[in-house]
Structure 1
């Protein structure tokens, strides 16, 4: 339905929807997420904490890959989510899946975050929010009554062929790991 690099924010979609099945904006976001399924991951290169640029989708081809977007390094919810992935990385490897965290933070911040919490998977830096915008993750966010530009906590399961297999919007950092593991296991047949 949508072109590979469609920018959902340019379509006038507001990202500060309340996650409720009764909220029409939330329903629109869900519909757009569904329409992304089967489309190619945008061709974008991001700096990685592994000391190289990761060229999407070619550098992740051949493996199931989870790209999880989070607002900011070393903040309570983001730390909880990252540490949960850290604690379950062996299970992701067992089912042949890679995990990448993505935020707007620069590499120095990412490296400090990895070191402080012994994270065992790479983080990608998207300071110009190119990938985040292309996937509809970057935009107006609301926290404690204030609206600001930033990332929502969304995750994308990418197939070995580089296609978007599943989208999770506004995930709960406490429960997202188990749900993503189940979905990857189901999709990969492992």
Structure 2
């Protein structure tokens, strides 16, 4: 896995959200910091804990002028079900062909229960208002993810 380099412009992307609307990196440039977090699959236990933590901390992210975007290889329809089931209050993006995950270096060989397969390695990227990558969190704890990211944002990016 090779992540984009900190300090460089973040790789651009345009993906559909849960409502089928296009969301692009350029939509936020000059306006908001972005937490772009990649997760393996909607409605799985770890992904649900991580998403619900972000939901509960949304007002803190807003105070820090930051938008959170979750990215998975799920379809927009599956993302809608995930959002509805857990009353999530932020956008989830569908990367069905995993092209954005590949660009960010998070599509990799994984092992689970003795099987090998390609999938998303849970990773978060913090992108500043200028569109530059300021932090990569590659050791994500789903239970503390929201607080870990908020601590970085509070210390200034």
Q: TM-score, normalised by structure 2?
A: 0.94
- In the other structure, the counterpart of 2:27 is 59
Q: 2:138 aligns with which of 169, 173, 186?
A: 169
- In the other structure, the counterpart of 2:50 is 81
Partners of 2:110 and 2:117 within 8 A in 1: yes
Q: Deviations over 1:68-125 (max 9, x none)?
A: 1100000000001001101111111111110011000000000000000000000011
Matched, 1:49 2:29: no
Alpha-carbon RMSD: 1.4
CA distance in 2, matches of 1:79, 1:163: 28
4+ residue runs of structure 1 moved beyond 6 angstroms?
Answer: none
Partners of 1:37 and 1:163 within 8 A in 2: yes
More strand by share: 2
> Which structure would you say has the larger Rg?
1
For structure 2, which runs of at least 5 residues remain unmatched after alignment? none
What is the correspondence of 1:1-190 to structure 2 with a 5 Å cutoff? 13=1, 33=3, 36-56=5-25, 58-61=26-29, 62-187=31-156
Higher relative contact order (CA closer than 8 Å, sequence separation 6+): 2
CA positional deviation for 1:55: 1.8
Partners of 1:152 and 1:170 within 8 A in 2: no
Between the two proteins, the alignment pairs up a number of residues equal to 156
CA positional deviation for 1:170: 3.5
For structure 1, which runs of at least 5 residues remain unmatched after alignment? 1-12, 14-31
CA distance in 2, matches of 1:127, 1:65: 21
Q: Secondary structure at the match of 1:36?
A: coil
Q: Deviations over 1:33-73 (max 9, x none)?
A: 5x7101111122110124411122x1121211101110000
